[in-house]
Amino acid sequence: MWYKRTLPLLVVFVAGLVGFCQEYVAHPAASRLLEIVTTWFRIIGGFALFIGLWSLLHMHAGRIRRRPPGWGYSLFVFIGAALMIGTGLYNSGSGPLAAAPGEGSWFQWMYTYIQVPCGSTIFSILAFFMASAAYRTFRARTLEAVLLLLAAAIVMFGRVPISELVSPYFSKVSDFLMAYPNLAAKRGILLGISLGAIAQSLRILFGIERSYMGAGD
């Protein structure tokens, strides 16, 4: 049916064209349009966030239904979610229609003493794996790897204050590496990525790329 397939693609093209043209229009009507459209998308953004949370919950519910090995752990996802939603809506007594939970609420307590430590610790584990990989995996097999490891060593040593004790030149060379060769290469990569991003936007506008439309007819 045309209203399931072709009309959305037409909407994409028209919305894209309006977004493209308003960038070149100086008339205050363009900034008024921009304010209205961005307010709309801010409100829709809230619903989009819910879809993200729903799909994650849905996936874990599926695991509990199908019971693959280790499904028991998915129960803790629901326990954690229930705890937070419960304390959040309770909101230290003032209910869901008042302002966001404050400093004294159990919601804030669980965030500060469970989510913050877990989140920062899980990522800090990578430092250990970085160390073990430094010993076993980062081998200068090819010329490229030699250059990479040399530059990495100079930058790593130049960035910590202890290098001042050895000689001030380490941080100077490290700054030079960052401000000239690194800058040139990153600018080259950035330009390549930007041209790719424009081509991608173009494919979306002309309906060539439609994977975001989702499955189904």
Ranges within 4-63 binding another protein (CB under 8 A):
4, 7-9, 11-20, 22-29, 31, 34-60, 63
What is the size of the binding site for another protein (CB under 8 A)?
171
| Distance in angstroms (rounded) separating the CA atoms of residues 13 and 207 | 8
| Distance in angstroms (rounded) separating the CA atoms of residues 29 and 44 | 23
Q: What are the E-state strand segments in 33-191?
A: none
CB of 169 to another protein, least distance (A): 13
Given candidates 61, 67, 167, 208, which one binds another protein under the rule CB under 8 A? 208
CB of 131 to another protein, least distance (A): 5
| Distance in angstroms (rounded) separating the CA atoms of residues 146 and 122 | 31
Give residues 178-197 in contact with another protein (rule: CB under 8 A). Answer: 178-197
Query: Of the candidates 159, 187, 162, which has an alpha carbon nearest to the alpha carbon of residue 174?
Result: 159
| Distance in angstroms (rounded) separating the CA atoms of residues 97 and 111 | 20
CB of 95 to another protein, least distance (A): 11
Query: Of the candidates 70, 103, 73, 105, which has an alpha carbon nearest to the alpha carbon of residue 86?
Result: 105
Give residues 59-98 in contact with another protein (rule: CB under 8 A). Answer: 59-60, 63, 70, 73-85, 88-89, 96-98
Name the one residue in this structure whose structure tokens are 């937070």. 84
| Distance in angstroms (rounded) separating the CA atoms of residues 31 and 16 | 16
Alpha-carbon distance values, 171 to 18, 146, 163, 166, 210 (Å): 49, 20, 7, 10, 48
CB of 214 to another protein, least distance (A): 6
CB of 72 to another protein, least distance (A): 9
The verdict on 121 binding another protein (CB under 8 A) reads: yes
Give residues 142-181 in contact with another protein (rule: CB under 8 A). Answer: 144-145, 147-157, 159-162, 164-165, 171, 175, 177-181
Nearer to another protein, 51 or 93 (CB): 51
| Distance in angstroms (rounded) separating the CA atoms of residues 184 and 176 | 12
CB of 24 to another protein, least distance (A): 5
Nearer to another protein, 15 or 169 (CB): 15
